[in-house]
C-alpha cells in the first residue's frame, strides 16, 4: 500500500523505514528538509509541503501524522482537512488526548473524511522490534488499512502463546488491536502509559532503597554493599519482576551503576495526567499511578512553597529552628 | 506537690514554671548549668547531678524526665533506676516509642519502681496555654499525681463544651487523660503527631497550589494573583479548616507571605514513622499519614537515585534526552 | 440592601435569614413552595417564579443563586440572563467549577450583566457562626455589595487577632475576601475544600489506628483499650491538632463512639477532584489531597476489578489460593 | 552434591525435583508424610524426622529449610542447630525477615555452624523456569555450594544478553547472585517483592480504569466497550509494559475476562511491610510501594472506622445525610 507520513522524527522516520522494508510505498514530509532527504535516499518519495504530499498520493489517500500532540498535530490536521477529499483518511499516530480524537472524528466526518487514532508504543526500538498499536476508528477503515498495521506490528515473534486464549481476532497476538471507535486507541495507549509510570516508579523506589542501604544515612554496621547492576541482571531471569523495563534498567546500570549521567530531573508527558483525570471521571482510586506522576513533579523542584510552609508551622508550634529556617 | 525535673529545655523549663505558678515545688537538673541557675532564680531548687536530685526529693519521689527520646532518655532512666527506691515513680514526658515504655515499665517494676509515660503536646506555647497530656501507667499512681497533671493541663478554659458529652471522667475536658497502661500515653501521642503530619501536609499542598496559581508555570491568562496571607486569615473565621495550625499559618504568612525565611527542608521526628509502623502492624491503610512523611523525606533531598533511574529508563526506551540527562 | 435569593435549601434559606436578621430585605424563590412560604412567614418576600423575582427587585438588581453546581445553577443563570437588565448582577454562591465562572462572566458581560462568584463555607452552622466567603469578580461591584457580605460574614468575633498582621483591607479579619476576578472566589473555595478532604482523612486514619489498636487483629497482649471519645476531647485543649473538625469529631464520638450510625460509604463533591486537576495543571505534587479523594472512592466500592486482578496475578505466579479466589 | 531439604510444599518439593533432575542427591523431610513418599518415589531419600535427616547426610552437611517464615522456620532451625555439627550449613530459602538472618548467623556461628539465606523467586513455575536466587552469607561457603545453586538457577537461557555488561562474576547472568553477608540475600528478595507489589498495583489500577470505562458509572455516550483480554495480549508485544506479570494477566483474562473467579480480597505477606520499614529507616520516600500495600489492606475490609468518621464529620458540618448515614 501507499502511505503519506508527516513528521520524520524518532518515531515517524522509523515507521516509514519499517513500512518500506515490508514493501510499502511512502510519501514523506517534515519541516526539516534533511530528514526528508535522508528518507528519500532510502526509497521514500520526499515532498516539500503538504499540498505536494496530498498530490503525491492515490485516492483514497491515507496520511499518517506523527507529530507532538497539541498544536503541531492539531494545525497539521486542520490544514490536511482542507486539502484532502471525501474518502481519504487521516491517521494520528501521536500521543493525542482521546477527547480530541472524538471531536476531530466528528468534525472531519462532516467533510467526508475519515479519522483513525493509533496509540503507538515502541519508541526508538520500534524499527527493530515492531510497534505495538492500539487503534481507534471505523472498523471497516481499520481493516482496509490492515496491510500497513500488519507490517508495522511486531508479529507473533518468539513470544510464547497465552494458554487458554481463544479469540476470533488474531491481531492482538500479532501486536495490534482495533480497540473501538475514534478515541479508543489513544485511550488504551494513555492507560498503557499510566501503567508504565507506575511500573517505573516501583523500580525507582526499590532501587533507591537498595542504593541507600549502602550509604552513610545508616550506621556502618547496618549497611550492605549491594551491587545494583548484578541485582538488576539476576532479576531478569526467573523472577516475578522480569520485564522490558527491567532489561532497560540492567542496560543502564551495566554501564553506569551510580547513574552519574543523570541529574534526577524527570519529565512527564500528558498521558500520566490524563490517566488520573480519566480515573477521577470514573471514581477509580489510583494512588499508585498518581503518586508516580507526583514523584516526577517533585523531582523537578525543590524548596517548594508547601515545604516552606511546613517549616513555618513547625517553627510556629515548636520553635523548631531546623535546617529549613534560614 | 513536689516534682523532680530532668531536662530544662523548651519543654522542661516551662513545665517547671507552670508547676511553680500553681504552687508546686520543683527540684531541677540539666547538664547545662545556666538553665538550672535561671530556674533556681525563679524559685526552683537547682541541683548539680542526679544523686542530688534524688536526695532533694521526699519519698515517694516523682521524677519527670524531659529529654530527647532515645539514648538521652534511656541512659537517664537507667541511672535513676539505680538511685531511686521502691515506691518512687519515673515519668517520661518526652517522645518515647511506646514499646520502649512497655519494656521499661516491666523492668522497673522488678525493682519496685513505677513508670508513667506522658505524651505532652503544647510546644513553646504550653506555659501560657497549658499542656495537653496523654498518660499511660498504673491508674492509682496516675491519680496520686493528679495535682501535678491538673496544674499542667489547660483546664476547661473558654472552649465550648462538646454537646451530648456524658462522661464519668472529667479529666479529658480539662486537657489530660489516663489512656491506659504503660505505653498507652505515648501511643496516643504518637497518633496525635501522625495526624498532625497529615494536617500540615494538607495545608502545605493547598497553599502550594494557591501560590503556584500566580506563577509563570501557567500561561498569563490562567493566573490569579492571590493574597495567601488574606486567604489564611479569612479561613480562620467560619470555615471548615479553621484550626490552630491555620492560626500559625496565618501568623507566618502575615510576616513573610513568600516564606523567604525558610529553605523548604523539613525535619521529621520518630512519631511519624512509628505511626506508619503501628498502622502496618494492624493492617490499617494510611496513605495520607505515610505520604506526609515521605513528602518530608523528599523535601530534604534532590536528584535521588530513584529519580535518576527513571530518567535512565526513559532514555532507554524512548531516547528521551531530557533535562535529567547530563 | 435588597437581595434576590434562588434556592432555599440548607444554605440558601439561612443566608436569607442571616441577612434579614441584619436588616436587609430578601425576595426569595425555590421550586419547593413550602420553603418559600416558610421564609415568607419569617419576613421575606416570597415569589412564585423567576420573572416575579426579577420584577420584585429594584435596579440595579442583585440575585444570589444558591443551587447545586452544574445543570441546576447553569440553567437558572441562563434564564436569569434573559430576564435581567444591564447593570444587574448575578451572584453564584454555590460550588461551581471556577472555569465555568470565567466563561459565564465573559458571556454575561456581553449583555451588560455583572457576575460574582462566592465560595461560601459554613454549612448548617452558618446562620449562627456566619459564612466565610471567598469572592471573585469586579472589585467595584464587590464593594457596592459590601453591606450584604459584611452581614453574612462572621465578623471579628472572639477569635484572637493574628500577631504581626498589617493589612489595608480588614475584610479578611471579618471573614470575607475579594480574592480576584471572576472565578478567583470559587478557586480559593475549591482549594479550601481540597485541604478539608486532607485534614478529614488525616483524622480518619489516625482514629482508625486508635480503634483497631483494641481489636482482635492484634494478639491480646498487644492491645490497648482506648477511649476514642476521651481522646478526641482531650486533643481539643492545647494540642497541635485542635480544630473545628476535631470539635465535630468529639461531638460525633461523644454520642456514638463506635460510629454505628454510619455505614462507612463516603460521598465526594466536585471540589476534591477539581483541586487535583488544578494541581496537575500547575505540576504541584498533591499526594495527600489526592489520596484523600481516592479513599472516598474506595469507601464506596469493594471487590474492585483491580483487586481481583491482583488476586489473579498472585494465583498465576504463586498458586496462592487465597481468600480472594472463589 | 547432597542436600537435605525440610518442607516439601509448592516450593520445596520442586526444588528437590530440579536438583535431582540435575544429578544431585536429596534427603527430604516434611510433617506431611505423603509429600515425603511422593518424592521418595521420584528418587529422593525420604526420612521421618530431623535426626534421621541429619543422620542421612555426609559431612559437612547442608540443609535447606523451605518453610513459612516466622515460627515454623525459627523452630526448625533451632532444632537443627542442636543436631548439626561444626562445619555444617543451614540454608533458609524462605521469606525470612533479613534482620532475623543477621541474628541467626551470629548465634549459629558461636556453635561453629554456617548460615546462608536465599531469597528464592520463581513460585510454582520454578521447576520449569528455574529459580532466581539472591544469596546472603559467607562468600566461601556460597562458592562451596555453587553446584546446587547453579542447578537450581534458570541459567543463561534464551534471554538476550545485556549490552555493555562487563562483570567478573557471571552468576547474575545465570540467575543467582551472592548479594553480601548473612541477611543480604533476603534483603534483596524483600525489595524484589516490594517492587512486585508496586508493579502489580500499577496493572490493577490501569485495568480498573479500562474496565470501568465501559460501566454505567459513565453516561452511555462516554463509554468504550473495551476488550481487556485483547489489550493485555497486545501489550505483550513491543510495548513498554511487557513483563512476566503482564503475561500472567493475559493468561488470567483469556480464561475469565470479568475475573468472576476472584472476590477481590488480596492477601499480603511480610515483605511488603518490611520494605516500607526499610525505606523509613533510610528516609527513602516510597509512595508507590506503600500505597500498593495499603490497597491490599483496603481490599480486605469495608466500612472501616476511618470511613465512618469521615461521614460523621460531613454530617456534622454540612448536614450531609449521605448513603453513609444509616
Beta bridge partners of residue D200, listed in sequence order: none
What phi and psi values does residue C89 have, to the nearest 5 degrees? -130, 140
CATH code of residue C276: 1.10.1040.10
Do B126 and B18 contact (CB within 8 A), yes or no? yes
Is A97 a domain residue? Answer: yes
Give exposure, D167-178, as e/b (b: 16+ Cβ within 10 Å).
eeeebbbbbbbb
> Does one domain contain both B237 and B96?
no
Residues 6+ apart with CB under 8 A from D71: none
pLDDT tens per residue across span B250-304: 999 998 999 999 988 898 989 999 999 999 999 999 999 999 999 999 998 877 8
Query: What is the pLDDT at residue C321?
Result: 56
Are the beta carbons of C285 and A276 separated by less than 8 Å?
no
Do C135 and C146 contact (CB within 8 A), yes or no? no
| Separation between Cα atoms, residue D253 and residue C311, nearest integer Å | 12
Last residue of a domain, one of D148, D179, D210: D179
Do C56 and C38 contact (CB within 8 A), yes or no? no
Say whether pLDDT at B123 is over 90: no
> Does one domain contain both A132 and A191?
no
Q: Shortest Cα distance from C324 to chain B (angstroms)?
A: 17
pLDDT tens per residue across span B195-251: 999 999 999 999 999 999 999 999 999 999 999 999 999 999 989 999 999 999 999
Among C128, C1, C118, C18, residue whose Cα is nearest residue C66: C118
D291 to chain B, any CB pair closer than 8 A? The answer is yes
| Separation between Cα atoms, residue C234 and residue C254, nearest integer Å | 12
Closest to A124 (Cβ–Cβ): which among B205, B309, B318? B318
* For range B13-35, the mean pLDDT: 97
Task: Give A163: exposed, middle or buried? Use CB within 10 Å, 0-12, 13-18, 19+.
Answer: exposed
> Does one domain contain both D88 and D235?
no
Residues 6+ apart with CB under 8 A from C315: C321, C322, C325, D252, D262
> Does one domain contain both B242 and B192?
yes
Which residues in chain A are contacts of B208 at CB distance < 8 A?
304-306, 309
Query: What is the pLDDT at residue D166?
Result: 87
Say whether pLDDT at B125 is over 90: no
Is D65 a domain residue? Answer: yes
| Separation between Cα atoms, residue C59 and residue C1, nearest integer Å | 11
Is D325 a domain residue? Answer: no
Residue in the structure block whose three cell numbers are 554501564: A255
| Angle, CA A65 vertex, CA A63 and CA A68 arms, to 5° | 175
Say whether pLDDT at A323 is over 60: no
Among C302, C310, C316, C312, residue whose Cα is nearest residue D261: C312
Say whether pLDDT at C191 is over 70: yes
E-state strands within chain B: 2-6, 25-29, 45-46, 62-65, 89-92, 114-121, 132-136, 176-180
> Does one domain contain both B254 and B111?
no
Beta bridge partners of residue B92, listed in sequence order: B65, B117
Is A315 a domain residue? Answer: no
Do D237 and A157 contact (CB within 8 A), yes or no? yes
Query: What is the pLDDT at residue C325?
Result: 63
Query: What is the pLDDT at residue B320?
Result: 64
What phi and psi values does residue B73 have, to the nearest 5 degrees? -70, -45
> Does one domain contain both C36 and C116?
yes
Could you tell me which chains touch chain A, where touching means 3 or more CB pairs under 8 A? B, C, D
Q: Shortest Cα distance from C266 to chain A (angstroms)?
A: 12
Residue in the structure block whose three cell numbers are 561457603: D141
Is C313 a domain residue? Answer: no
Own/partner long-range contacts of D29-37 (Cβ < 8 Å, ≥24 apart): D29/D4, D29/D5, D29/D53, D30/D6, D32/D8, D35/D8, D35/D9, D36/D8
Do A213 and D274 contact (CB within 8 A), yes or no? no
Among C313, A234, A209, A236, residue whose Cα is nearest residue D191: A209
Cis peptide before A60 (omega within 30 of 0): yes
Last residue of a domain, one of A150, A179, A208: A179
Query: What is the pLDDT at residue B163?
Result: 86
| Separation between Cα atoms, residue A312 and residue A299, nearest integer Å | 22
> Does one domain contain both C239 and C135?
no
Do C281 and B212 contact (CB within 8 A), yes or no? no
Say whether pLDDT at C323 is over 60: no
Do B289 and B195 contact (CB within 8 A), yes or no? yes
Please state, rounded to an integer, the average pLDDT across all residues of chain B.
94
Tell me how far CA of residue B164 lies from CA of C16, C229, C251, C255, D321, in angstroms: 29, 11, 7, 6, 20
* For range A286-314, the mean pLDDT: 90
Q: At what angle do helices C184-212 and C244-255 cross, to 10 degrees?
A: 40
> Does one domain contain both B141 and B271?
no
Query: What is the pLDDT at residue C122?
Result: 82
Pure H helices in chain D: 10-21, 33-41, 50-55, 71-83, 98-109, 126-129, 139-144, 146-152, 184-212, 228-235, 244-255, 270-281, 287-300, 305-318
Is B313 a domain residue? Answer: no
Which residues in chain A are contacts of C297 at CB distance < 8 A?
283-285
| Separation between Cα atoms, residue A116 and residue A97, nearest integer Å | 13
Which residues in chain A are contacts of B262 at CB distance < 8 A?
307-309, 311-312, 315, 324-326
Do A237 and D130 contact (CB within 8 A), yes or no? yes
D319 to chain C, any CB pair closer than 8 A? The answer is yes
Say whether pLDDT at B324 is over 80: no
Say how many domains are in chain D: 2
Pure H helices in C153-286: 184-212, 228-235, 244-255, 270-281
Residues 6+ apart with CB under 8 A from A323: B263, B265, B267, B300
Which residues in chain C are contacts of A277 at CB distance < 8 A?
277, 280
Query: What is the pLDDT at residue D323?
Result: 53
DSSP conformation class of A268: -
Are the beta carbons of A297 and C285 separated by less than 8 Å?
yes
Do D11 and D66 contact (CB within 8 A), yes or no? yes
| Separation between Cα atoms, residue D63 and residue D77, nearest integer Å | 10
Residue B213 falls in the annotated catalytic set: no
Query: What is the pLDDT at residue B63?
Result: 98
Query: What is the pLDDT at residue A230?
Result: 97
According to DSSP, the β-strands at B114-121 and D114-121 are: unpaired
Do C238 and C259 contact (CB within 8 A), yes or no? no
| Separation between Cα atoms, residue A136 and residue D62, nearest integer Å | 59
Confidence bin at C166 (pLDDT 50/70/90): confident
* For range A110-125, the mean pLDDT: 93
Say whether pLDDT at C276 is over 90: yes
Is D69 a domain residue? Answer: yes
| Separation between Cα atoms, residue D250 and residue A157, nearest integer Å | 17
> Does one domain contain both A28 and A135?
yes
pLDDT tens per residue across span C77-134: 999 999 999 999 999 999 999 999 999 999 999 999 999 999 999 877 889 889 999 9
> Does one domain contain both D233 and D103?
no
Q: Please state the pTM of the whole predicted model.
A: 0.95
CATH code of residue A152: 3.40.50.720
Among B113, B123, B89, residue whose Cα is nearest residue B9: B123
Do A303 and B263 contact (CB within 8 A), yes or no? yes
* For range A81-89, the mean pLDDT: 98
SS3 D146: helix
Q: Provide the greatest CA pair distance for chain C.
A: 76
DSSP conformation class of C224: -
Residue in chain B closest to D293 (alpha carbons) equals: B285
pLDDT tens per residue across span A205-231: 999 999 999 999 999 999 999 999 999
pLDDT tens per residue across span A147-192: 999 999 999 988 889 988 988 889 999 999 999 999 999 999 999 9
Give, for all 326 residues of chain D, the pLDDT tens digit.
999 999 999 899 999 999 999 999 999 999 999 999 999 999 999 999 999 999 999 999 999 999 999 999 999 999 999 999 999 999 999 999 999 999 999 999 999 999 999 999 987 788 988 999 999 999 999 999 999 999 999 999 888 899 889 888 899 999 999 999 999 999 999 999 999 999 999 999 999 999 999 999 999 999 999 999 999 999 999 899 999 999 999 999 998 999 999 988 898 989 999 999 999 999 999 999 999 999 999 998 877 888 888 888 888 887 665 555 66
3-state secondary structure D177-197: EEEECCCHHHHHHHHHHHHHH
Quote the cell numbers at residue D121: 523467586
Quote the cell numbers at residue B231: 486567604
Are the beta carbons of B322 and A203 separated by less than 8 Å?
no
The rounded percent of chain B whose pLDDT value lies above 70 is 98
Residues 6+ apart with CB under 8 A from B221: none
Interface test with A, best of D175, D238, D243, D252 (most A CBs within 10 A): D238
Quote the cell numbers at residue A12: 515517524
> Does one domain contain both A211 and A289?
yes
C195 to chain B, any CB pair closer than 8 A? The answer is yes
Closest to D294 (Cβ–Cβ): which among B287, B293, B297? B287
| Separation between Cα atoms, residue D244 and residue D152, nearest integer Å | 20
Is D305 a domain residue? Answer: no
Residues 6+ apart with CB under 8 A from A260: B326
Residue in the structure block whose three cell numbers are 518515531: A11
Say whether pLDDT at A79 is over 60: yes
Give exposure, C105-129, as e/b (b: 16+ Cβ within 10 Å).
beebeeeebbbbbbbbbbbbbbbeb
Say whether pLDDT at B20 is over 70: yes
Other beta carbons less than 10 A from residue B168's beta carbon = 4
D236 to chain A, any CB pair closer than 8 A? The answer is yes
Closest to D132 (Cβ–Cβ): which among A122, A235, A250? A235
Are the beta carbons of C273 and A285 separated by less than 8 Å?
no
What phi and psi values does residue A63 have, to the nearest 5 degrees? -125, 125
Domain residues for the domain of D10 are: 1-159+171-179
* For range C130-147, the mean pLDDT: 97
> Does one domain contain both D175 and D210?
no
Which residues in chain D are contacts of A292 at CB distance < 8 A?
202, 288
* For range B317-325, the mean pLDDT: 63
Catalytic residue among A45, A141, A173, A189: A189
| Separation between Cα atoms, residue B312 and residue D217, nearest integer Å | 39
Last residue of a domain, one of A179, A212, A242: A179
Tell me how far CA of residue D173 lies from CA of D150, D157, D170, in angstroms: 11, 9, 6
Amino acid at each position: 500500500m501507499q502511505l503519506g507520513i508527516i513528521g520524520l522524527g524518532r518515531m515517524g522516520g522509523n515507521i516509514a523505514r519499517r513500512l518500506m522494508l515490508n514493501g510499502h510505498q511512502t510519501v514523506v514530509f517534515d519541516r526539516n528538509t534533511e530528514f526528508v532527504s535522508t528518507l528519500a535516499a532510502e526509497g521514500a518519495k520526499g515532498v516539500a509541503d503538504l499540498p505536494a504530499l496530498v498530490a503525491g498520493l492515490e485516492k483514497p489517500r491515507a496520511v499518517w501524522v506523527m507529530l507532538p500532540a497539541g498544536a503541531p498535530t492539531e494545525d497539521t490536521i486542520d490544514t490536511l482537512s482542507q486539502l484532502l477529499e471525501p474518502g481519504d483518511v487521516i491517521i494520528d499516530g501521536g500521543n493525542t488526548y482521546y477527547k480530541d480524537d472524538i471531536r476531530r472524528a466528528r468534525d472531519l466526518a462532516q467533510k467526508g473524511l475519515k479519522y483513525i487514532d493509533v496509540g503507538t508504543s515502541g519508541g526508538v526500538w520500534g524499527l527493530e522490534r515492531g510497534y505495538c498499536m492500539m487503534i481507534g476508528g471505523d472498523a471497516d477503515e481499520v481493516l482496509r488499512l490492515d496491510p500497513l498495521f500488519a507490517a508495522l506490528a511486531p508479529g507473533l515473534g518468539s513470544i510464547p502463546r497465552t494458554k487458554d486464549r481463544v479469540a476470533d481476532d488474531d491481531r492482538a497476538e500479532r501486536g495490534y488491536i482495533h480497540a473501538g471507535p475514534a478515541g479508543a486507541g489513544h485511550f488504551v495507549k494513555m492507560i498503557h502509559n499510566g501503567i508504565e509510570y507506575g511500573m517505573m516508579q516501583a523500580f525507582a523506589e526499590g532501587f533507591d532503597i537498595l542504593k541507600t542501604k549502602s550509604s552513610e544515612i545508616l550506621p556502618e554496621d547496618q549497611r550492605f554493599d549491594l551491587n545494583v547492576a548484578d541485582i538488576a541482571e539476576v532479576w531478569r531471569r526467573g523472577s516475578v519482576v522480569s520485564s522490558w523495563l527491567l532489561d532497560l534498567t540492567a542496560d543502564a546500570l551495566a554501564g553506569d551503576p551510580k547513574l552519574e549521567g543523570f541529574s534526577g530531573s524527570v519529565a512527564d508527558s500528558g498521558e500520566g495526567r490524563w490517566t488520573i483525570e480519566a480515573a477521577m471521571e470514573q471514581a477509580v482510586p489510583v494512588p499508585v499511578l498518581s503518586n508516580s506522576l507526583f514523584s516526577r513533579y517533585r523531582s523537578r523542584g525543590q524548596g517548594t512553597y508547601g515545604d516552606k510552609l511546613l517549616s513555618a508551622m513547625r517553627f510556629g508550634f515548636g520553635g523548631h529552628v531546623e535546617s529549613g529556617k534560614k
